[in-house]
Chain A
């Protein structure tokens, strides 16, 4: 069983589900802008790797309408942690406006981004 300790660090900002050995983390906020909120999201993301030792993670952005550069920073740190732990990370269901943010910052070159959750789960 995975520990739930990290969920107590601030309000829960991710819905976690296990699908066929893959951890699917769905953001619960439409707007990932607020500084405190971003800290909480970062802590909860990092705990998936650092505390739970999860090896296959899909981040589902279905609900996300906005995210700031600080949120991008947390995703980059998450990506580094995942690589260090020799785990795998995919992003999916990113709206076109948000995807443009990834393109402008060229982060679409770093992250493995899939259109749908099914594609993200396939062969990870």
Chain B
């Protein structure tokens, strides 16, 4: 397995820092042949959701809180851990946005999109850390 990038960073709870991280990761992913354009689309979408969740919903944009990111980009796997310093949440408490009564609620779709586009999504018990993995689709 050729690893192209592996890093751990701690970023502030700002939209700009989140977007910078997103572009750094996507720059690497999009330069690799193993990930298709469709894979890259899904990773960008899922990663954006995870970063926004950490910065906005986890840390509440607090300047006193940071987000820890551990990322590995290899030919056959993209893996990222994103940990915020918020109180976490319970996955079971998030209503299913595709249920008829929730269809018109303006929020709650981020986790569903991450699950759809990634190979694996896991939260720790507290709910303040998410692990995302994507195995490139067979071509």
Tell whether A and B belong to one assembly: yes
A79 to B103, CA, bound (A): 12
Interface residues on B, range: 20 to 34
Within 8 A of B (CB), among A51-87: 65-66, 68-70, 72-74, 76-77, 79-80
In the bound complex, do residue B52 and residue A101 qualify as a contact, i.e. CB atoms below 8 Å apart? no
Is A110 on the interface with B (CB-CB < 8 A)?
A: yes
B44 at the interface (CB under 8 A from A): yes
Q: Is there contact, CB below 8 Å, between A77 and B112?
A: no
A: contact size bracket: 20 to 34
Q: B124 on the interface (CB 8 Å rule)?
A: no
Query: Shortest Cβ distance from B94 into chain A, in angstroms?
Result: 12
Interface of B is mostly: helix
A97 lies within 8 A of B38 (CB): yes
* A residues near B77, Cβ cutoff 8 Å: none
Q: Which of A6-14, A15-23, A28-36 contacts B (4 or more CB under 8 A)?
A: A28-36
A107 within 8 A of B: yes
Asked if B56 contacts A73 (CB within 8 A), the reply is: no
Tell whether A1 is near chain B: CB-to-CB under 8 Å. Answer: no
Query: B12 to chain A: closest CB distance in Å?
Result: 14
Question: Are B103 and A36 in touch, CB under 8 angstroms?
Answer: no
Give the B-binding residues of A (Cβ under 8 A): 33-36, 65-66, 68-70, 72-74, 76-77, 79-80, 97, 101, 104-107, 109-110
Interface residues of B (CB under 8 A from A): 15, 19, 22, 38, 41, 44-45, 48-49, 52, 56, 97-98, 103-110, 112-113, 116
